[in-house]
Amino acid sequence: MKERIEAAFESHRLLTDETRGLSETIAAIATRLIGVLEHGHKILLCGNGGSAADAQHIAAELTGRFIEKNRRPLPAIALTTDTSALTALGNDFGFEQIFSRQVEALASPGDLLIGLTTSGNSPNIVRAMEAAKRLGCETVALAGRDGGRVRSLVDICLTIPSDETPRIQEMHITVAHILCDLIDRHCSGK
């Protein structure tokens, strides 16, 4: 048991070191997010499974607060939270359209969609990105492996260099916390 625990920590540490090499991409994403928010637009987020939970987590950090208690609430919507919409859309249009239909209903030109997908190939994330592009939204993906199909569809793709879903998700939330910190500091004037 101890060996498995140590191996998990070591795998996480090694991937953290590799992900540090993506700081220019992380800074580029932060710049886009800040620009969208400064121009009065909103951030939409989507993902499946653990990535759905991460989408909700990030939206909550933005609408509530990350660290800075005195910064204004920022407009962010997790497309993963409305079970009535998700089940109706899945039933009536198919699971592949649960996010794209919401993007079509809620997004405006100038908004930004973040899709979290460890494979980069989730059909509902791919369709959401296509819908966002048609509407004039900016697009960012947090992916893993080789970035999959979503890599070529988005403005910026941060690809975590791993094939292990749990490690990819750990890096996604670490990167998301870094982004929230950068946004917090900017919006609170620090």
pLDDT at 190: 65
* Environment class of 103 (CB within 10 Å of its CB; exposed 0-12, middle 13-18, buried 19+): buried
pLDDT at site 70: 84
Q: Give the model's pLDDT for residue 56.
A: 98
| pLDDT over 70 (residue 145) | yes
Answer yes or no: CATH 3.40.50.10490 is held by domain 2-187. Answer: yes
Which pLDDT does position 69 carry in this prediction? 83
What is the residue extent of each domain of the chain? 2-187
For residue 189, pLDDT beyond 80:
no
Mean pLDDT of the chain: 96
pTM: 0.96
Q: Is the pLDDT of residue 100 over 90?
A: yes
CA distances from 156 to 46, 48, 94, 153, 166 (A): 15, 20, 27, 9, 22
What pLDDT score does 68 carry? 82
| pLDDT tens-place string over residues 31-80 | 999 999 999 999 999 999 999 999 999 999 999 999 988 889 999 999 99
pLDDT > 70: what percent of the chain? Answer: 99
Tell me the average pLDDT across 112-125: 98
